[in-house]
Structure 1
Amino acid sequence: MPPRPLVLLALSFCLSPGSAAASPWTAARDALARLFSAAETCELGGEVVGGRVEPGTRAVVVPTRKKAWEASRGGEEAAKPYIKARLAGWPERLLADREALPRTDAEFVARLARDTWRGLEAFTDREHHLPVDNVRLAEASGGREDARVGDYTNVTSIGLRLITIVAARELGLVSEREAVARVRALLDTLGPLETHRGFLFNYYDTTSLERTSNFISFVDSSWLTAGLMVVRTTFPELRDECTRLIERGDYRFFYDARRQRMSHGYWVHLAARSQFHYGMLYAESRLGSLIAIGKGDVPEEHWFRMIRTFPPACRWQSLRPQGRERKTVRGHPLVGGWYEWKGERYVPSWGGSMFEALMPTLVLDEAHHAPLSLGANDAAHVAVQRRYALEELGYPVWGLSPSSTPGNDGYGEYGVRLLGSLGYGVGAVTPHAVALALGVAPAEAAGELRQLAALYDVYGEYGFYDAVDPRSGRVAHAYLALDQAMTFIAAANYLRDDCIRRRFAADPIAARALAVIGEERFFD
């Protein structure tokens, strides 16, 4: 049985941010933390961001060399054409010919993969081989002059760039020699980048290679590790360099041994870990947790200390959990449970977005390795996403996940609220969410991608734009490196028998981690 409300209140206080300082209550707090899983607290502050901003986190890192480079060209505005000229390519037209798009699922996904790869190649810095974060085209013209380029990159985008090169080789879009050359050039760029404790900072300027962030991100770092794992199982000549980069960072750096959770990251200018933790199991961070366990950096008990569902006393959550019983898996105690909607049972994510649910499945075949837990949950999330959009919202299409906002330069966190513990709001549909579902419900997802292209002007020369609002038909004419890479990798898995998932599973880190996830049953 869950603890009574009084115990919940006590545990919530004991585990709240800022309570970790030494005090007469320290021993009692630590005893409570071990006696009761942290999953049994309603305290949000220590587990998720929840919209809060940590002190000092908005401190800006000014890239001084980049500013000098811009000044030498007449200032920031005058330098923009030079930044665009650094890109490897540019689209010639805003929209593809809708009538020329293939009408069968496999042919359409193959066309999507080719077009998306061309965009991933084009929007890469020629000199440093890094993907730029985003390119936003003018709705009226689509021309280079009116476009805006986000000339910075993120650690996740770097990791996914490595994986997309392997995927392009699997699809025959580049030769093995070309793929190795691309990876080697990117690894050469990573060498001189500023790091901390063996980890890259979260953002870098693609022109000057200066870090533009004070933050070392756990989940983003894990995607770079995943990319290096895929590369070293594919190209033997790059194995040693990838291994060196993997081993220089120890994920214990992010691990809170008292909570047995991973911190969001580390603020270098504050010399402190983030006060927030990845507390929920069903989140995009679960891949990082498995990598940390597979490397031997953190104990496997960490996996079983993450929240499956919050207790019913947490009245802020979107649905009341069912089946919350204590159980033991691989000798580790945990509290299970699920939500249920229209006959679909599922363990919730935080926001109810497809990104949280399915991004790890780009490299991790959860249906195969964890069929009665994560695999079943992936299928349920896709089913609810689809049914909720069609039945409740009246949308003709589905796929809710964080994306650009059609009609302005914004970015929104979209999802199905009842799929999340707290849940994001509804809004735009983003093609990357549908592409992610190719690995879970291939027929439904492939058909939905064709439906998106048929109903809306959302397919450009480089594949799908980032989002469409089904209520107005407005399109966000933006290419985001993260979303395009996810789309491409998902398409490669669909077309080539889970090629990236198989490469990832062949790595010894993955082999050690996969044993952790196979025994749990979410819905027993």
Structure 2
Amino acid sequence: MTANISRRTLLAAGGAAALIGTTASTTYAGTPDPAALLKGNWKPGREDKALVGRWARDTWRSLVAMTDETTGLPADNIGSSVTNPVRSQYTSPTNIGGYLWSTVVARHLGIISPKESLRRITQTLTTMSRVDHHEPSGMFFNWYDESTGEVRFVDPDGTKPITPFVSSVDNGWLACALMVVRNAEPGARALADSLLSKMNFAYYYNPAARPGGLMRGGFFETPPPDEETDKGNHAGTGPDVYYRKFHYDTCNTEARIAGYMGFALGQVPHTQYFATYRTFPDSCDWSWVEQKPKGVHRTYLGLDVFEGTYSYRGMRLVPSWGGDMFESLMPDLFIPEATWAPRSWGINHPLTVRAQIEHGLDDAKYGYWGFSPASNPKGGYSVYGVEAIGMDPGGYPSDLEATNFDAGFEGCREGVNPNPTFGDGVVTPHAAFLAMQYAPAQAIENLRRIETNLHAYGAGGFYDSVAVRSGLIAQRYLALDQAMVMGAIGNVFANDVVRRNFSTKTVERRIRPLIAMEQFESGLESEGV
């Protein structure tokens, strides 16, 4: 395949948009904002504002119910009741960050007053300034008791002891929230800065993992008794830590937020971005994944990048690990990736949304769409996605039966199940909210039908998931998923409030030129891509 693709026409879920791309050595020729184009001529009407406004108020009610009145820390989850909530007794940096940016959104939507917003944010940040954490890096442990702020030494299930872990991605989401808060709430800026200024993402960056370097999953302050680790210190400050052995080595996952934060704070070199895989290589050595990628090689910052793509229903796109909405679009809540990187994310994000819509409506024929990790309607927690646009050979299925898709690897092995028959599909409302930036009319209609026809809605907003054929509902609320709902509504209905307050001029200067230089091979196969 040649790298000289002069034009791509992307049919957006909400209309048609012409996105013109040239070779990697030239500039993007389309001057309009791709994210705006993808909405077509859609503007929220009075009914849209009233409906989504009600969803936002109810979603905020669930977040208030999750939050301890003394510490200001949200629980990871509660059951269906928001008037007598049963809290999970654990929380994470991600949950805390989600509550913080949701508070900002609630204020800008007029759900709470500026005074209440400042009170809540100050309460949470004051607690975080006092909790135990890994002081040399400024990073926080993975699990805290939301009612006391104490570090948990027992896993969330309460079944076994754990060594407190310091996660790169979880701290990435908290750092994102602090960036938003410091700009959106001037009265809380000093508190937010006092936490953010101590966070050093260089602790996670391993320059030797691959040419360009990769981000670690995280580390322990003390060695865990049941896990082999790498002792060391990438930042070169403070005592050694005990790294988990895995690195994040693919690009289109939520883990890219840790790299973004490292770039935004000037702590991680830009080469890390191009060190991650778009897809794994197209050789038979990698034939264990679900389909063979196609693409070309390009060079960025001196690094060779295989611009691979997967095929699904006439589209070619860069897959995520599981084919879910969360991995692809949650970082986009903060960094306007489609606008800043029109030749890569500006094409890939709307294609991901289109793939999710077509999977739910046309391929699996569920009648609904939106697939992302969430509560399992049968109990517990499970991963969901459009497996054909994910790399995980184990699969992020879209139904309760865990139907596996496998197209094979051309020239290396035959597919196990290239044309699956799907069962009881599981849709996750937060996934449709994430898609609202790109397909607002479709997302709102899909969610309206989930509420009206499937009754997956309570006093705290949409329940976490619903199986469309059996009608089984996961009647609980998760802090992370509700925070994604609030963030998406804030961006679409409150003038990009989350993105505006995250993406300062400094952040834009450190991230936009980096992601703008790349050209994915995403597009429509009918266009010769």
**Structure 2 length as normaliser, TM-score?**
0.76
Matches within 5 A, 1:281-292: 281-292=251-262
Aligned to 1:123: 66
1:413 corresponds to 2:386: no
Deviations 1:279-330 (A, max 9, x none): 100000112211101211111001010101111221111121011x221235
Does residue 184 of structure 1 match 2:122?
Answer: yes
Task: Rate the CA distance shift 1:208–1:239 in 2: closer, same or farther, 3 A.
Answer: closer
Structure 2 CA distance for aligned equivalents of residues 362 and 376 of structure 1? 16
1:164 to 102, 105, 113: 102
Alignment-mate amino acid for residue 307 of structure 1:
Y
Matched residue type, 1:522: F
User: What's 1:519 paired with?
Assistant: 517
Instruction: Tell me the equivalent position of 1:244.
Output: 194
| Equivalent residue for 2:248, pick from 265, 278, 282 | 278
Residue in 2 that maps onto 1:208: 148
2:56 is the alignment partner of 1:113: yes
Deviation sequence 1:406-464 (CA, Å, 0-9, x none): 132x1101111111112312222110111111112212111111111121111111110
Verify the 8 A CA contact 1:415 1:426 in the aligned structure 2: yes
Residue 60 (structure 1) aligns with = none
Question: Which residue number in structure 1 is paired with residue 480 of structure 2?
Answer: 482
Q: Given residue 339 of structure 1, which amino acid in structure 2 is its aligned partner?
A: Y
1:234 to 177, 184, 190: 184
Q: Residue by residue, what CA displacement relative to the aligned partner does 1:199-238 show, whole Å, maximum 9, x if unpaired?
A: 1101100122211151000000011110010011122233
Runs of 4+ in structure 1 deviating by more than 6 angstroms, as ranges, are none
CA contact (8 A) 1:330 1:519 kept: no
- Structure 2 SS opposite 1:336: strand
1:373 is aligned to 344
Q: Could you tell me the percent identity over the aligned residues?
A: 39
Residues 37-436 of structure 1 aligned to structure 2 (within 5 Å)? 104-137=47-80, 148-196=86-134, 197=136, 198-212=138-152, 214-259=164-209, 260-270=213-223, 271-312=241-282, 313=284, 314-323=286-295, 325-408=296-379, 410-422=380-392, 423-427=395-399, 428-436=426-434
Contact 2:79/2:86 (8 A) holds in 1:
yes
1:340-369 deviation per Cα after TM superposition (whole angstroms, max 9, x unaligned)? 212111101111111111111111211211
Q: CA deviation at 1:143?
A: 9.2
Q: Which amino acid aligns with 2:128?
A: L
Kindly tell me: are residues 403 and 518 of structure 1, through their superposed partners in 2, closer, same or farther at Cα, counting changes over 3 Å?
same
How large is the Cα RMSD of the aligned pairs? 1.9
**TM-score of the aligned structures, taking structure 1 as reference length:** 0.76
Unaligned segments of structure 2, at least 5 residues: 2-44, 154-163, 224-240, 400-425, 523-529
Distance 1:426 1:459 in 2: 20
Q: Which moved more, 1:364-373 or 1:231-240?
A: 231-240
3-state SS in 2 of match to 1:201: coil
CA distance in 1, matches of 2:117, 2:430: 24
> Secondary structure, in 3 states, of the residue corresponding to 2:87?
strand
C-alpha separation between the residues in 1 aligned to 2:216 and 2:98? 22
User: How far, CA to CA, are the matches of 1:388 and 1:119 in structure 2?
Assistant: 30
Paired with 2:51 and 2:310, the residues of 1 have a C-alpha distance of 35
Using the alignment, how far apart are the partners of 1:496 and 1:236 within structure 2?
Answer: 18
Deviation at 1:510, TM superposition (A): 4.6
**What amino acid does structure 1 have at the position aligned with 2:311?**
E
The separation in 1 between residues aligned to 2:86 and 2:459, in whole angstroms, is 17
Question: 3-state DSSP class of the match of 2:144?
Answer: strand
Q: Which amino acid aligns with 2:148?
A: S
Aligned partners of 1:231 and 1:426: how far apart in 2? 35
Partners of 1:285 and 1:515 in 2: CA distance: 20
Counterpart CA distance in 2 for 1:295 and 1:316 is 37
For residue 287 of structure 1, give the secondary structure of its aligned residue in structure 2: helix
Unaligned stretches of 5+ residues in structure 1: 2-101
Q: Shift of residue 261 of structure 1? A: 0.5
Say whether the 8 Å CA contact 2:214–2:276 is kept in structure 1. yes
Between 1:172-181 and 1:414-423, the stretch displaced more is 172-181
Q: Deviations over 1:227-263 (max 9, x none)?
A: 0100111222332332221121211111111021001
- Counterpart of 2:506, as a letter, is P
Quote the Cα distance in structure 1 between the aligned partners of 2:148 and 2:505.
33
* Kept in 1: contact 2:466–2:474 (CA 8 A): yes
Question: Does structure 1 conserve the Cα–Cα contact (< 8 Å) formed by 2:428 and 2:466?
Answer: yes
Task: Give 1 or 2: higher helix fraction.
Answer: 1
1:251 counterpart letter in structure 2: F
